[in-house]
Amino acid sequence: MKKVCLVTGGSSGIGLAIVKLFLAKNYQVFNLDISASGFGEFCQCDITNTAQVTEIIAGIAAQQAIDVLVSNAGIHFSGNIENTTEADLERVFNINVKGAYAAVKAVLPSMKAQQHGAIIFMASDQALVAKHNSFAYNLSKAALASMAKTTALDYAQFNIRANAVCPGTIATPLYHHAIDNYCAKSGANKAQVHAEEAALQPLGRLGQAEEVAELVYFLGSDKAKFITGSLQVIDGGYTAQ
């Protein structure tokens, strides 16, 4: 019987790379997202709707054990605290934090019953360091890092592991959207901004979604069975500076 992996926000970017890799590793993969990608078993889901998330995951768990949950769904938002409205803050937290809360809470009963499971939160290098004009996003990613630690401690007794992956600047649609927004507001040259972003990384380039997926797969596998409560940085050396 195939192992089962659930991925939230698995239709693009890092999430899609994760879905593809787990499929290649012979997992049965469920993608909980608002739109389909053509990869994995698609479950149309609004991650901010806790009742819907709970119902979908409970339905899957009733049919088979869930081995891995990758809580990946998230959005980016640029702005300092003064430029962040209450509605902006709520939207970022509803998707990035409340969505993770809903998915993890829904998967825990089955993982507890089967006495095993791996949960991976998609945090960010911004769980470790601050960046300009990133008040709400930074806050949400720090919250996910905290969730990984507390979940790891609370559920170690059930052989459930929880870790957070902390990517740096990764060339995904989310990244390109953020750069496009910045250039539209500032008038900056897009090619120059990309070059500057690459130069900020000690390795001299942006990360790739497939590289993040490899780390996620490792953390979900038995090779990482003594790793829990950790923040795994994959940022080209950015936070080591």
Report residue 146 as tokens: 């905290």
Among 137, 155, 217, 238, the active-site one is: 137
The 8-class DSSP code of residue 223 comes to G
**Separation CA 129–CA 134 (nearest Å):** 11
Which among 30, 210, 173 has a CA at the least distance from the CA of 103?
A: 30
Sheet holding 117-122: strands in order across? 41-44, 28-33, 4-8, 68-71, 117-122, 160-167, 231-234
Let me know if 238 is a catalytic residue.
Answer: no
Rounded to the nearest 10 degrees, what angle do helices 86-93 and 135-155 cross at? 30
b/e 142-163 (16+ beta carbons within 10 angstroms → b): bbbbbbbbebbeebeeeebbbb
Q: At what angle do helices 50-61 and 99-114 cross, to 10 degrees?
A: 20
Show which residues are catalytic.
137
